[in-house]
Every structure is written in C-alpha cells, then in structure tokens.
Amino acid sequence: MDMTTVGDTGLLDTLQHEVAVFARRAEQTRLGGVGQVRNSMDRAAYLLLNRLDKEGPMGVKALAASMGIDSSTVTRQVAPLVDTGLVKRTSHPEDGRAVVLQLSPRGAARLEEVRSSRRQLMAELTHDWAPEEREQFCTLLTRFNHALSARMTVQGVPAAEQSPAS
C-alpha cells in the first residue's frame, strides 16, 4: 500500500518531520533525566540493565535474542557494565561452562536511580498534560515502536527492543 496516497500527505509530512526532530532531541539529551543523573547512562547500558532487571539472569545469546540484537553486540556492550560492577557474570547453574549475566545489587540500585531521574523528566515534560493524554501518548508511542519493530523484522533486520518492558 502506498501510504503517500492514503490520508493527508501534509499530516504524514508533519509526522515524519516530528519523528525526526524527536529522534535528534532524544539522542542529544538521551532523555537521560534531570539533576546529577542526567546523561549518566547511555542508551545501550540502560536497555541492557532494564532487560536483565525485567527478565532475570540469562546468557548472552538469550539476552541478544530478547533485545533483537546480535550476541557480539551484547558482549561488547556488557563488558563495561561488568567492569564497573553493574552486571555480574556467573556460571550457569546446570552447565558450569556457560556464562549467565545477572544484574548486580549495585546495578539494580544504579538502574533505579536512572529510572527515577527519567520519571522526573517525563513528569516535567508532561506536567500540563491530562492523565488521559499521557496514557494515550504512551499507548500510541508503544504502538508506533511495535510497528517499527515488525517492519524491521519483516525486512530481515533485527529489531532492537520489541517490548514495552525494554
């Protein structure tokens, strides 16, 4: 289906422009939060720590699969998290040769600190929105992200972050 002929092309132009502006501003600020925590954790680290927190300990391959990225990327991104004590490498309980990645207590505390700062930023940015508007924006943004992930999967490109738990 040719989307340029469906609906208002002016609206679609505005949408694509606003998404581009959002992507640039999100990257510039990393939507990192407020105060001392602002910009203190990069996107990759945040998403990896968040995934380990939500899904529990797992191997590199499982973590990569759950995030829609390859194992070598996970290995590269996890290394500094292990070095700084935010993630622990442990032996798999059933296969001592396999490595399991686990959020450390320090990592859990740091993740909560960043989450809290980011929640505060979201509250500030949407302070004059009605609760229904916040909910609708979250619903639509989640739907938009799922559509992007599905499109990337169909095209054979691993879709990074396919679930709202990411």
- The pLDDT score that the predictor gives to residue 25 is 82
CB 160 within 8 A of CB 68: yes
pLDDT computed for residue 143 by the predictor = 96
CATH class of 14-153: mainly alpha
Element (H, E) at 102: strand 99-103
Residue that the structure tokens 């999100």 belong to: 26
In the numeric block, which tokens belong to residue 11?
A: 């609206």
Task: Give the pLDDT score at 166.
Answer: 42
CA distance 159 to 152: 6
CB 165 within 8 A of CB 115: no
Report the 10 Å Cβ neighbour count for 163: 15
Measuring CA to CA, which residue among 111, 95, 125, 99 is closest to residue 51? 111
Q: What is the pLDDT along the chain (166 residues), one digit of tens a residue?
A: 455 555 678 888 999 999 999 888 877 766 566 666 555 788 889 999 999 999 999 999 999 988 888 899 999 999 999 999 999 998 777 776 778 999 999 999 999 988 888 888 889 999 999 999 999 999 999 999 899 888 877 776 554 444 444 4
Tell me the pTM.
0.75
Domain range summary for the chain, segments of one domain joined by +: 14-153
Distance CA 6, CA 87 (A): 47
**Residues 100, 91 contacting (CB under 8 angstroms):** yes
Q: Cα 14 from chain centroid?
A: 25
